[in-house]
Amino acid sequence: MFHVKHSVHGRGIAVAVEWMVEWMAQTDAASVDEAERRSEHMPRKLRDAVVVITGASSGIGRATALECARRGATVVVAARRTAPLEALALECGHVSGRALAAPTDVTDEQAMRELARVALETFGRIDVWVNDAAVLSMGRFEETPAEVFRGVIETNVFGVVHGARAALPVFYEQGSGVLINISSIDAQLGQPYMSAYTASKHAIRGLGISLRQEAKLAGAKDVHICTVLPATIDTPFFQHAANYSGRAVRAMPPVYMAERVARTIARLAEHPKREELVGSMGYQLTLLRMLAPGLAERMMARQSDMMQLAPDQPAAPTDGNVFVPVPEGDGVSGGWKQPAGKKAGIVAATAGVVATAPALAAWLWFQRRQPPKLSRTARAARAAQPIRSLWQRVAA
Amino acid sequence: MARQWEKRVRGRIEYRPGRAPLGRLSNTWTDVDGCRMYARVAVADRADAPAVVLAHGYGVSSRYMVPAVRHLAPYYRVYAPDLPGYGRSCRPRRVLNVPALADALAGWMDMWRLERAVLLANSFGCQIVTDLAVRRPDLARALILVGPTVDPAARTPWQQAWRLAEDMPREPAALWPPLVRDYLRFGPRRALVTLRDMLRDRIEERLPRVQAPVLVVRGARDAIVSAAWAAEVARRLPNARLVTIPGAAHAVNFNAPLELTRVLRGFLSACERCHGWPTARVAEARP
């Protein structure tokens, strides 16, 4: 390490400084390399991250933007509707200090590249890219117009493809980044009257698997692709849906809050996982599909027919927001999850107590079966005995 | 040892998956008014690319500009000189103040025939290049002020030292060796005199007279340059844009060179569009 050629006598400080300088020179090369490598550690904390979110004007995208901003992230929000987007950017900017609204149609590849470019030129990097934009078309396959079917695939599948095309080169250049695609529990099971949607969500899941494998083969350890599979979420999504079924569209219970998906996405941004279900119904359906796939499909078909479409409420055919955005519904919630009243709370509490009563009784019963307490003399007698090893006890 | 490292850096082009090959550096010495000035230069057969001159901060040298040089090199001709008294350049007995340092930089640029170059400066370097841009507008095509000092709200040595102490833990640990090395070489006399000059120099009075377009860059975690002061700098300049880089501390050129390169490229391409500058045909070095 150190070449001690100098005599220390007389000029100790000068020699010490020289040693130090030499040591610095050795560490210097390493330091520059380390600075190069520094950006390739792991997903950044959201506080230091730039998050791009498509489909952010309402629903899950909006909730995600607000959640990320709450955790200190710099957010770039994209959607077709300008007015709600700018209001959202303003809101996020108040919370985290940095936010940018970029009106973008995800079906336009050039616009998506432009979105990535604007994010890079404004903040220098992109750490998380959330492909959230999606549309829904309801109705039998034969009754759904071909262009509507195509429109759903354009937005849901090609939107994600264009997002990945814009984000992944940036991630590979940085050596890090998290791409989060929002699929659906429909990618696990499928639903009737939603053929385009189900097909698109399966496609997103498959795309995620393939991209993940490619990242692995490219040796990019810190480029992650995550797929989120939410169950029915309370968003204006169902009000925005194209509908050719003749019946009004509902959100099929159980309905979960969009904030729950947002929290999951924020967690994935810092701790990526391959796939993540949101909502316990998703886990139940997954389990059922594993155990009895045929039954699961039939059940889902019947359930959707009864609860996804209102049986007694007719609706005129509409192409919803598949081609052009609709002005209404620019909040997080779609009003599908009724806030539980006081009465419901009491009923739930009673049910909980009744359900846990047998367990409580069993616990008490087992408590009494414990060995009786020894008297003082008995304890002293036991203490006097030598401690026998396990082997001795087994032999005895 | 130092020689060995130079050789390593000079002879290496790295290819990483999905990365542009980073630039080669060469060492140059130029005589400017009797002072031998050292510079790290990366010009890889692109005579038509715009020139970027990097001015370092207080006490340090072009050594901590190396990450920025290597990221900028695929797109620009990059020059990172050590100012007189700093790094490996000559050490004049008289400690140079801001205008004198600006003169030395101008003299060095004249020797290299760099006209209308992009001047990128960090920290104290911003005071030097703004002075240069005011007195020699022909040299400055655009300014990139990365963490411009001195915040008038902290115009005492104690406040500056406290802010530096706050900032250093936020910088990568790799910044310590070049920093300590350069400070040791800089010496205490030069440090004290330059600190006094730095604090006396009023950059805010000079800013309205800078005609070139300016990009003000601030790291979001910069403790030395407050967000309010960076906004004030951008407001005082006639033609400026402020960019904040999330997660970066004061020495953005060292801790976030890729991000700095991206915002710089975006700014320059926008400027070429808005001011009718000659558009340099820079071959993208990406495969």
Whether residue B278 lies inside any domain: the answer is no
Nearest to A48 among B5, B246, B266 (CB): B246
Tokens of A153: 């695939």
Q: Which CATH class is domain A39-338?
A: alpha beta
Residue B66 C-beta-side C-alpha neighbours within 13 Å: 25
Q: How far B259 CA sits from the closest chain A CA (Å)?
A: 4
Whether residue B280 lies inside any domain: the answer is no
Q: Give B208-264 pLDDT, tens digit per residue.
A: 999 999 999 999 999 999 999 999 999 999 989 999 999 999 999 999 999 999 999
Residues of chain B above pLDDT 90, percent: 75
d(CA A254, CA B210): 63
Q: Does A62 touch chain B (CB under 8 A)?
A: no
In chain A, which residue's Cα lies nearest the Cα of B260? A124
Q: ipTM for the complex?
A: 0.85
Whether residue B51 lies inside any domain: the answer is yes
Q: Which residues contact A22 (CB under 8 A, 6 or more apart)?
A: A2, A3, B1
Dihedral (Cα; B211, A97, B226, B106), 10-degree rounding: -30
User: With contact defined as beta carbons under 8 Å apart, do B53 and B42 qualify?
Assistant: no
Mutation target to probe the B interface, by most B beta carbons within 10 A, among A20, A22, A28 is A28
Q: How far B151 CA sits from the closest chain A CA (Å)?
A: 21
Query: Where do the structural domains in chain A lie, given as residue ranges?
Result: 39-338, 344-395
Nearest to A29 among B8, B20, B243 (CB): B8
Dihedral (Cα; A269, A270, A273, A275), 10-degree rounding: -30
Distance of CA A122 to the CA centre of its chain: 25
User: CB neighbours (10 Å) of residue A389?
Assistant: 9
Which residue, B160, B202, B19, is CA-closest to A36? B19
Give the pLDDT mean for A289-312: 92
Question: CA end-to-end span of chain A, whole Å?
Answer: 64
Q: Does B172 touch chain A (CB under 8 A)?
A: yes
Whether residue B97 lies inside any domain: the answer is yes
Dihedral (Cα; B9, B10, B16, B21), 10-degree rounding: 140
Q: Residue A353 corresponds to which amino acid?
A: V
Whether residue B182 lies inside any domain: the answer is yes
Which residue, A247, A202, A246, is CA-closest to A227? A202
- What's B229's domain CATH number? 3.40.50.1820
Which DSSP symbol is given to A157? I
d(CA A207, CA A226): 11
Whether residue B228 lies inside any domain: the answer is yes
Q: Give A256-279 pLDDT, tens digit per residue.
A: 999 999 999 999 999 999 999 999
Q: Give A21-66 pLDDT, tens digit per residue.
A: 666 655 554 455 554 555 444 678 999 999 999 999 999 999 999 9
d(CA A167, CA A116): 7
Q: In chain A, how long is the greatest CA-to-CA distance?
A: 102
In chain B, which residue's Cα lies nearest the Cα of A14? B184
Whether residue B166 lies inside any domain: the answer is yes
Q: Does A42 touch chain B (CB under 8 A)?
A: no
Q: Strands of A133-232 (E only): list them.
A: 137-138, 176-182, 222-230
Domain that holds residue B141: 2-270
User: With contact defined as beta carbons under 8 Å apart, do A53 and A79 qualify?
Assistant: no
In chain A, which residue's Cα lies nearest the Cα of B249? A48
* pLDDT band, residue A76 (cuts 50/70/90): very high
Total structural domains within chain B: 1
* pLDDT band, residue B271 (cuts 50/70/90): confident
Beta bridge partners of B51: B77
Q: Which residues contact A111 (CB under 8 A, 6 or more apart)?
A: A104, A105
Whether residue B27 lies inside any domain: the answer is yes
Q: How far A121 CA sits from the closest chain B CA (Å)?
A: 4
